[in-house]
Amino acid sequence: MTSVGMRSRWWLYLVLTVALLVVITPFIWMVLGSFKTNAELRQIPPTWWPQNPTLDNFRQLFSRLSFGTYFTNSTIVAVVVTAGNLLFCSMVGYALAMLRFRGKKFVFALILGTLMIPGVVTFVPLFVLVANLGLVDTLPGLFLPFLVGPFGVFLMRQFVLGLPKDLVEAARIDGAGEFRIFFQVILPLLTPALATLGILTFLGSWNNFLWPLVVAQTNDTYTLPVALALYSTGQNEQQYGLLMAGATIVVLPVLAVFLIFQRRFIQGIATTGIK
């Protein structure tokens, strides 16, 4: 760390504080806006604090626009995707790092190779596949393609490589089977890596937009971002209050998750360098 003098330090705080306010203003304005009426949101000049705070926007989202369903869909998809990634990626990560089996190098090369392929390439055939499986407009269609990912395997493998191999040897000598070793000895030790991968996967799934936009086609399967995007561009564009409240509903849960786990999360970003 470079130390700076008192005077420049004062300036630094001022600049950082102004920058911070600029960065978080949209969120403050969004949350405050969700308690305003349409008329107030259309007012010129805009108001800062709601004049007559109302919960009407939120009430309408859930009673008239089935945001409850979208919220449930988003949650189910994010939880299933996260659980799948944690289980399958840790299994492969462990196998690649600790066990000897034929084809191991090939599997690892395959996974590393696909890390570099952008999602846009597989998008079209993936949709055709899901359509042929009859999974369009179903929740499995939303989560199945994301149950595993190369990034999760890579992260887990790197973490397992740092664990002592003697641990596995000792468990074998005690007569534990290979699966028991994985679930009872290794998995508990993977908690920090599982937490990082879990948060990254959950947030990624919750905020995912393009895939659900294509696969979810009716009210029953829309996720929150899809519903908000479709609602905000149709003839409902003028429903400012509802849009602010909808945006708040989409953002607040992840903000909460983030604030609770932020230390681990930021550590994960810093060590992996992947968002």
Region 161-220 residues binding another protein, contact defined as CB under 8 A: 161-162, 165-166, 169, 172, 178-179, 182, 192-193, 203, 206-207, 209-210, 214
Q: How far apart are CA 144 and CA 205, in angstroms?
A: 12
Which residues between 141 and 160 bind another protein (CB under 8 A)?
A: 144-145, 147-148, 150, 153, 155, 158-159
In the block, residue with structure tokens 């420049």? 8
Chain centroid, CA 15 distance in Å: 31
Closer to another protein at the Cβ: 125 or 188?
A: 125
Question: How many helices (H) and strands (E) in the chain?
Answer: 15, 0
Q: Which one among 14, 55, 109, 117 touches another protein, defined by CB under 8 A?
A: 117
Q: Which one among 126, 185, 187, 189 touches another protein, defined by CB under 8 A?
A: 126
Binding of residue 102 to another protein (CB under 8 A): yes
Q: Where are the beta strands (DSSP E) in 64-156?
A: none
- Looking at 51-59, 65-73, 75-83, 98-106, which segment touches another protein (CB under 8 A)? 98-106
Q: Which one among 110, 112, 134, 260 touches another protein, defined by CB under 8 A?
A: 110
| 10: enclosing H helix or E strand | helix 6-33
In the block, residue with structure tokens 């009872």? 184
CB atoms within 10 A of CB 127: 16
Number of residues that bind another protein (CB under 8 A): 116
For residue 226, the one-letter residue type is V
**Short-list 218, 264, 183, 225, CA closest to 77:** 225
- Residue 82 C-beta: closest distance to another protein, Å: 15
Q: How far apart are CA 148 and CA 6, in angstroms?
A: 51
Closer to another protein at the Cβ: 55 or 117?
A: 117
Binding of residue 80 to another protein (CB under 8 A): no
Q: Which one among 123, 134, 184, 191 touches another protein, defined by CB under 8 A?
A: 123
Q: Which one among 52, 218, 233, 235 touches another protein, defined by CB under 8 A?
A: 233
